[in-house]
Amino acid sequence: MIKKPIVAANWKMYKTPQEGVSFVSEICNLLLDKEKPTIIFCPSFTSLFYMNENLSDSGIELGSQNVYFEPEGAFTGETSVGMLKACGVRYVIIGHSERRHIFNENNTSLNKKLHVVLDNGLVPIFCIGETFDDRNARYTKMVLKEQLTKGLDGVKGQLIDRMVIAYEPVWAIGTGVNAEPKQVEDTHLQINGLLAELYATELVKQIPILYGGSVKPENAKELIEVEGVDGFLIGGASLKLELFSKIIEIVKNNYKG
Ligand code: 13P
């Protein structure tokens, strides 16, 4: 089965609701009736409701950048999966390196989030990746293994095909320096191997694995041609209409599946 490639925009803490709405209406006009990859916008919580109203019928998907694992309660500042669903969210980014490193999220709480997202019928975009020091010390595989085994603990095989993995080397995020295609190929292969230690090969084959870290129009072709790369999770370049639409076009024309 050929996978459909994914181009996901992680807007981080950028764009007001008005800016988000006008961005997606321009993208919708550009891509109207065109065959396209799965496109997912992950704006901040404040934009979700408004963007959902403007995305209906466009075939473009909405994702959030985080979720809390409790269904409701006295958890000031948090957002539940039910609240996200009510805003039309289908995808949830879990374990982004900024959440891990700035907000001290750990494998245990990320595992709870993965469960709640899957149990409620949404699709996690589960982020993993090593730091610069990890890579230099040749700890990459060990770090990815720990993130995957602890993050996916207790997640049953029948749910795993509704899951997206994003490999984002921390040293490539927001730095302008992407991982080399060969590094990406080797690491995606390792991730596939690690997943195959946990789940049946047939299931693992269905899991899209995205690359993230300084993706831009200049490197998108060589990266999407890498075996095992099923799309991108994009930060900076997803904030600019011209750059983002170019990357979508490149993915559409060059993904081999
Ligand atoms: P950049 O594309 O800005 O490097 O960010 C990548 C990222 O963190 C996506 O989640």
Assign residue 36 the CATH number of its domain. Answer: 3.20.20.70
For residue 3, the model assigns a pLDDT of 84
Cα diameter, the chain: 48
pTM exceeds 0.95, yes or no: yes
Q: How confident is the model at residue 158 (pLDDT cuts 50, 70, 90)?
A: confident
Mean pLDDT across the stretch 25-47?
Answer: 92
Whether 226 is in a domain gets the answer yes
Whether 1 is in a domain gets the answer no
Whether residue 215 has its Cβ less than 6 Å from ligand 1: yes
Structural domain span for residue 128: 6-254
Question: Which residue is catalytic, options 96, 98, 185, 188?
Answer: 96
Question: Which residue is catalytic, options 98, 130, 168, 185?
Answer: 168
Using the mean position of ligand 1's atoms as its centre, give its distance from the Cα of residue 24 in Å. Answer: 19
Whether 105 is in a domain gets the answer yes
Whether 79 is in a domain gets the answer yes
Whether 212 is in a domain gets the answer yes
Whether residue 217 has its Cβ less than 6 Å from ligand 1: no
Domain count, the chain: 1
In the block, tokens 């948090």 appear at 78
Whether residue 113 has its Cβ less than 6 Å from ligand 1: no
Whether 30 is in a domain gets the answer yes
Whether residue 208 has its Cβ less than 6 Å from ligand 1: no
Question: Could you confirm whether 96 is annotated as catalytic?
Answer: yes
Residue 72's φ and ψ, nearest 5 degrees, are: -170, 175
pLDDT tens column, 106-142:
999 999 999 999 999 999 999 999 999 999 999 999 9
Using the mean position of ligand 1's atoms as its centre, give its distance from the Cα of residue 174 in Å. Answer: 6
Angstrom distance (rounded) from CA 85 to CA 173: 28
Whether 230 is in a domain gets the answer yes
